[in-house]
């Protein structure tokens, strides 16, 4: 068994445990509220690049999300390049394609857990009524960020992103448990 196959199999087991545990309330995270950066983990967003214009995109990269990995798993882009990503969720669960640093993904994880705890993120769908209720009661529920696409199974979205001159970036799924089960890929700036 190759390391890659082992990680995929291990990731599926971890994902199953995570999904089953995701229904246990997480009071500590829910009580944390959100930080100065709106709880999105996107403080200093310009250090990772900026939203791009479709007309400036030099190429399109297709990303397919499966239940514990991406295809492709590694992306190479030029410093300053604008890329259009077409993102398809081919898995059975809700997944996210999010361009950020590892630290930003970690900072975003509590908000994603809070969304799961409030019923916004269900394993296989986004509950828009729960998102509205969370928005009314807490001041935030569902967010749209230019560096991210959160998709239900079978759905397709896009991200158009202009990369910076230099940054240590990755793309990842921040749905609770998914990052640690293998849903993370590298971005190499050339």
Of the candidates 76, 65, 45, the residue with the CA atom closest to the CA atom of residue 187: 76
pLDDT of 29 strictly over 50: no
* 37: helix, strand or coil: coil
* The dihedral sign for the CA sequence 173, 15, 138, 35: negative
Which of 135 and 38 is assigned the larger pLDDT? Answer: 135
pLDDT tens digits, one per residue of 87-100: 999 999 999 999 99
Domain ranges of the chain: 3-189
User: What's the predicted TM-score (pTM) here?
Assistant: 0.77
Inter-residue contact 163 to 95 (CB < 8 Å)? no
Among 104, 105, 108, 57, which residue's Cα sits nearest to residue 85? 57
The class level of CATH for 3-189 reads mainly beta
When the pLDDT of each residue in the chain is averaged and rounded to a whole number, the result is 81
114-153 per-position pLDDT tens digit: 999 999 999 999 999 999 998 888 876 676 789 999 999 9
CB distance 99 to 148 below 8 Å: yes
């Amino acid at each position: 068994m190759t390391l890659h196959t082992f990680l995929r199999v291990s990731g599926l087991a971890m994902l199953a445990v995570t999904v089953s545990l995701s229904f246990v309330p997480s009071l500590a995270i829910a009580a944390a509220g959100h930080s100065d950066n709106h709880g999105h983990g996107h403080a200093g967003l310009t250090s990772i690049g900026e939203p791009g214009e479709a007309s400036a995109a030099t190429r399109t990269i297709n990303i397919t999300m499966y239940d514990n990995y991406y295809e492709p798993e590694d992306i190479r882009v030029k410093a300053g390049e604008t890329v259009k990503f077409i993102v398809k969720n081919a898995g059975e669960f809700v997944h996210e394609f999010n361009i950020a640093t590892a630290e930003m993904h970690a900072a975003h994880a509590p908000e994603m857990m809070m969304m799961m705890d409030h019923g916004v993120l269900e394993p296989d769908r986004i509950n828009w009524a729960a998102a509205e209720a969370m928005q009314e009661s807490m001041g935030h529920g569902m967010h749209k960020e230019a560096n991210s696409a959160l998709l239900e199974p079978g759905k397709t979205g896009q991200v158009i992103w202009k990369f910076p001159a230099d940054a240590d970036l990755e793309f990842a799924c921040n749905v609770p448990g998914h990052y640690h089960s293998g849903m993370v890929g590298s971005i190499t700036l050339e």
